[in-house]
Amino acid sequence: MSIVYDFKENIKKDELENIAHVINDGGLVVFPTETVYGIGADATNSEAVKKIFLAKGRPQDNPLIVHISNLEMLDKYTYGINSVEKKLIDAFWPGPLTIILKSKNNLSNNVTAGLDTVGIRMPDNDIALNIIEVSQKPIAAPSANISGKPSGTKIEDIFDELNNRVDAFVDGGDTDIGIESTVVKVDNGVVNILRPGKISLEDIKALGLNVKLDRHVFEDVKDGEKVESPGMKHRHYAPKTKAILVEYDKSDKMLDKIKSYQAKNKISIGAICYKEHENELKNIGIKTIVMGSRDDLLGISRNIFSLIRGIDKYNFDVCLIEGVKKEYIGTAIMNRLIRACGYNIL
Ligand code: AMP
Ligand code: MG
């Protein structure tokens, strides 16, 4: 059985030393960040990094994000930053922004999946920063989940699937943001968002920078198509239950769809819906799971992965999921929901 450290109330100094030893000995530690839980290992130790891929069943071609706790580490592992990258770092670090930079190739090749770039970020979470500081290692950490499943945002959701696959879990309570970091790459002065997150297009624009969303944020990747980020090619988050995404402001379409299902046959229909639509849906016989208020995007972001993980237990024939406005963190929520629904959109 993996060891569980309870850091929900406070960080315990002696236990922190033990956790740092696990990292330094080439072990795996599940720890919280402000986005989601990560499975961490020493990013300079190839054997340790290999274990992450094995524990997750992660495709070998999907590189890992490296977590650092100070800017000296950035200098040590990358060829430095340009003025646009500096602006991003000054504004958003520590925080949920991963920047793809030229790697000095002194990290394990398994981390970067053989690319000459590395995704790097400084998390805004004291437990994560302390583990990096005390172990004095850059920590490679993908999201804590078996590949394909939604990222873990609370220990209870991921304990069973990762127990015995990692050496330790550090419980810091539910994560604040609930979806993974924004991933950007700066090309010719333009910030390209490869994966949207809490740091939004609007936030980056507000710095006076040129910014765009990569095409594959909302479009599926066709066979053989070249992508900026290997993670775009992989299937993510999908439950076994058939899930359909309802675009924001298309509730009428959702009601029509429900009627057509109900007219055809007796199937069980569920909905992950806004608080504002709960009663209306219940009244027509739909089992509802409330994601939060449609005006509280951060609240929805915190809940959404745990709700998607829970869908299968209801045995619905079909589950409708209400989408949010594609603005600010809503863009990131929609990016995850579209994948969870296998690009099945109403
Ligand atoms: P995860 O670790 O599960 O949060 O996923 C990390 C994401 O960052 C994946 O989508 C990766 O493909 C992406 N990523 C990591 N390193 C790079 C890189 N060097 N170039 C492009 N994308 C990267
Ligand atoms: Mg992941």
- Whichever domain contains 318, its CATH number is 3.40.50.11030
Distance from C-alpha of 200 to C-alpha of 194, rounded to nearest angstrom: 11
Residue range 157-183, pLDDT digits in tens = 999 999 999 999 999 999 999 999 999
Cα dihedral 197→199→201→202 (10° resolution): 130
pLDDT digits (tens, 9 = 90+) for 268-284: 999 999 999 999 999 99
Q: Is 314 among the domain residues? A: yes
Task: Dump pLDDT digits (tens) for 226-236.
Answer: 888 888 887 78
Residues 213 and 267 in one domain: no
What pLDDT score does 14 carry?
96
With bands split at pLDDT 50, 70 and 90, how would you rate the model's confidence at 264? confident
- The rounded Cα 139 to chain-centroid distance in angstroms is 16
Name the average pLDDT for the chain: 95
In a domain, 231, yes or no: no
| pTM of the full structure | 0.96
Separation CA 105–CA 95 (nearest Å): 24
In a domain, 235, yes or no: no
CA proximity to 48, closest of 70, 21, 18: 21
Q: State which of 34, 61, 62 you would mutate to test the pocket of ligand 1, scoring each by most atoms of that ligand within 8 A of its C-beta.
A: 62
The residue type at 314: Y
Res. 203: pLDDT tops 80: yes
pLDDT of residue 224: 82
Give residue 118 CA to ligand 1 midpoint distance, Å.
Answer: 8
Pocket of ligand 1 (CB under 6 A): 62-65, 100, 112, 115, 117-119, 142-143, 180, 183, 194-195, 229-231
CA distances to 52, 66, 97, 100, 253 from 73, in Å: 21, 10, 16, 15, 51
90-110 per-position pLDDT tens digit: 999 999 999 999 999 999 999
CATH code assigned at 25: 3.90.870.10
- Host domain of residue 303: 242-340
Summarised one tens digit per residue, pLDDT across range 274-331 is 999 999 999 999 999 999 999 999 999 999 999 999 999 999 999 999 999 999 999 9
Q: Looking at the domain assignment, is residue 42 inside a domain?
A: yes
**Residue 224 in domain:** no
In which band, very low, low, confident or very high, does the pLDDT at 222 lie, cut at 50, 70 and 90? confident
Task: Give the integer Cα–Cα distance in Å for 318 and 264.
Answer: 14
Alpha carbon distance 162, 240 (integer Å)? 19
Determine, yes or no, domain membership for 346.
no
Q: What's residue 147's pLDDT?
A: 92
Are 294 and 196 contained in the same domain?
no
Q: Is the pLDDT of residue 10 over 90?
A: yes
What gap in Å lies between CA 248 and CA 246, rounded to an integer? Answer: 6
Say if residue 185's pLDDT is above 90: yes
